[in-house]
Structure formats: structure tokens, C-alpha cells
């Protein structure tokens, strides 16, 4: 694994760099293998990246969208038109503006009554898309991740059983203390990616960034520490505020 931390003065510079990296990764994957498989992040942070990628005269003009397949790192257990839906956020911010056909969009079916069934359905979709034999893992070209102030990423929350899942590709879980049901890719799937990019901005994440990157290894407390692509690149894109508690040797 190679890893890099890039710190930007402003969020705008962060998301500009993220857009350029997204497009570079897409073009590289299509040149190498004829397709690009990306798992999108949820939450609010990536919205500004998705808006840049959707801009008609923006950095992704001419990106290989017809060769791109969209997955998600996690989803809330809600219908796709629900305001909390990660798919819904990405659709509104980006997908509806892109020349992308529905077979290229592999959303997690948060509308299924049972979150476990939604996770199992998503696992089968991944196995179908990557023609995976039993015991094999998908290799996503790019995984986008956010970071919660509690150190979670995707829906891998501190102290939850999902952190210890090493057989399933996707599982149902719940948000601690809240109880909201989620579906998440498991750490082995995220770590099977060719490139994993964390997008983190704002002072609210500074403590978690410092703990994850420079604190003791405690992945049960700081689940983002689980993300160590075994044969890939780990990239942290931070604004100065989110990097504000890192010690200087990292800068
Ligand atoms: C989600 C994401 C989650 C998110 C972090 C940060 O479904 O919400 O998968 O892991 O990336 O909670 O969220 P913000 O970007 O909103 O701060």
C-alpha cells in the first residue's frame, strides 16, 4: 500500500483536486481495462465534488462516463427518493446531469423492508458485476470515503460488529445511539480497491483526522484506521481546517 496526505488551504482547492483525481483515475481505468468502477461516498462533504463533476464545462468534461459504473460505499435504510438517501444525493448533485444509463448505476436498495436483505441483494449485485467466484473480492478502481467526527467511514461505526466482518461484501448495521439502520460495504471490499480517497474538510473533523492518522492503532474506536488498501493507494484530501490538529511532520 502507498499512502499520501494532501492538505489544501481551502475547501474549494480540495474539491478541485478531488475532481481532477477522480477524472484521472477514471481515464486510467478505462485506458487499462475499458471500464471504471467507483464507489461513491455519502453524507454532505462529497456534494461539492459531485457538483464539479456534473458541471458541463467543468473538470470532467469529456470524462469516460459511458464506461463508468457507479456503486456506493454505504446507504441509509431508506427509499431512493428519501432526503437521507446517499443515492438520492448523488443523483441530484451529479448523476441526473451525466450521460449515464441506468445499467451503469448500481445503487443499494435501501427501500427493501429488511436491511439484511438489502445487504444480501447488494452483495449479489457486486458478485454479478465483477463476476466473482465465492471467496473472491471485487476490485473497485476508486472508492470515495468521508470521515465522521467519531472516526467512522462508510457505515463502519465504532464498536459495531460490521468492523469484524471478513466474509461478506456488504452487511446491515445501525448507527450507535441512534439506531438508524444502514447498509455498508465491509472493510475487505474497501481495502480491495485500487485507490481509496478520503475527502475531509472542516474543523469539526480535525480531532478525528489526527486520531486516525497519528493516534495509536485502535480501529474499533477509530474505524477509518481499518482502511488500508492491500494492493492500492490510500489518499487523504484535507483542507487546512480538518488538518489543523496534525503534528507538523505530516504536513
Ligand atoms: C454517510 C457516509 C458517512 C459520511 C460521514 C461524513 O452515509 O453519511 O457514508 O460515512 O461520509 O458521516 O459525513 P459528512 O460528509 O456529512 O460530514
- Over residues 189-213, the pLDDT tens digits come to 999 999 999 999 999 999 999 999 9
pLDDT of residue 1: 85
pLDDT of residue 248: 72
**Cβ of 151 below 6 Å from ligand 1:** no
The three cell numbers of residue 144 are 470515495
Chunked in runs of 10, what are the mean pLDDT values of the chain (251 residues)?
95 98 98 98 98 96 96 98 98 98 98 98 98 92 98 98 98 96 98 98 98 98 98 98 87 50
Q: Note whether 115 and 170 are within 8 A (CB).
A: no
pLDDT of residue 134: 85
Nearest CA to ligand 1 atom 15: 45
pTM score, whole prediction: 0.98
CA atoms within 13 A on the CB side of 15: 18
**Cβ of 153 below 6 Å from ligand 1:** yes
If we measure between CA atoms, which residue out of 13, 66, 137, 107 comes closest to residue 21? 13
Report CA(34)–ligand 1 centroid distance (Å). 30
Q: Note whether 202 and 139 are within 8 A (CB).
A: no
If we measure between CA atoms, which residue out of 144, 143, 147, 142 comes closest to residue 201? 147
pLDDT of residue 133: 87
pLDDT of residue 249: 59
15 by DSSP, 3-state: which? helix
pLDDT of residue 250: 60
Which stretches of the chain are DSSP H helices? 11-33, 47-54, 86-93, 115-129, 187-191, 206-214
- Paired with 185 in beta bridges are 170
Report CA(149)–ligand 1 centroid distance (Å). 9
Amino acid at each position: 500500500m502507498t499512502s499520501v496526505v494532501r492538505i489544501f488551504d481551502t475547501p474549494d482547492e480540495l474539491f478541485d483536486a478531488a475532481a481532477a483525481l477522480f477524472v484521472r483515475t477514471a481515464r486510467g481505468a478505462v485506458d487499462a481495462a475499458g471500464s471504471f468502477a467507483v464507489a461513491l461516498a455519502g453524507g454532505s462533504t462529497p456534494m461539492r465534488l459531485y457538483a464539479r463533476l456534473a458541471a458541463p464545462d467543468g473538470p470532467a468534461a469529456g470524462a469516460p462516463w459511458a464506461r463508468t459504473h457507479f456503486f456506493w460505499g454505504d446507504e441509509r435504510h431508506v427509499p431512493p427518493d428519501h432526503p437521507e438517501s446517499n443515492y438520492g444525493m448523488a443523483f441530484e448533485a451529479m448523476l441526473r446531469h451525466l450521460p449515464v444509463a441506468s445499467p451503469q448505476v448500481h445503487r443499494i436498495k435501501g427501500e427493501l423492508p429488511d436491511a439484511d436483505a438489502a445487504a444480501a441483494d447488494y452483495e449479489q449485485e457486486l458478485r454479478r458485476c465483477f463476476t466473482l467466484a465465492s471467496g473472491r473480492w471485487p476490485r473497485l478502481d476508486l472508492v470515495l470515503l468521508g470521515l465522521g467526527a467519531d472516526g467512522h467511514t462508510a457505515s463502519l461505526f465504532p464498536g459495531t460488529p460490521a468492523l469484524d466482518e471478513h466474509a461478506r461484501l456488504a452487511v446491515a448495521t445501525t448507527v450507535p445511539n441512534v439506531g438508524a439502520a444502514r447498509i455498508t460495504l465491509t472493510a475487505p471490499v474497501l481495502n480491495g480497491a485500487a485507490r481509496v480517497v478520503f475527502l475531509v474538510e472542516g474543523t469539526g473533523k480535525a480531532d478525528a483526522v489526527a486520531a486516525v492518522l497519528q493516534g495509536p492503532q485502535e480501529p474499533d474506536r477509530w474505524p477509518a484506521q481499518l482502511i488500508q488498501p492491500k494492493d492500492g493507494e490510500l489518499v487523504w484530501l484535507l483542507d487546512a481546517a480538518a488538518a489543523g490538529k496534525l503534528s507538523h511532520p505530516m504536513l
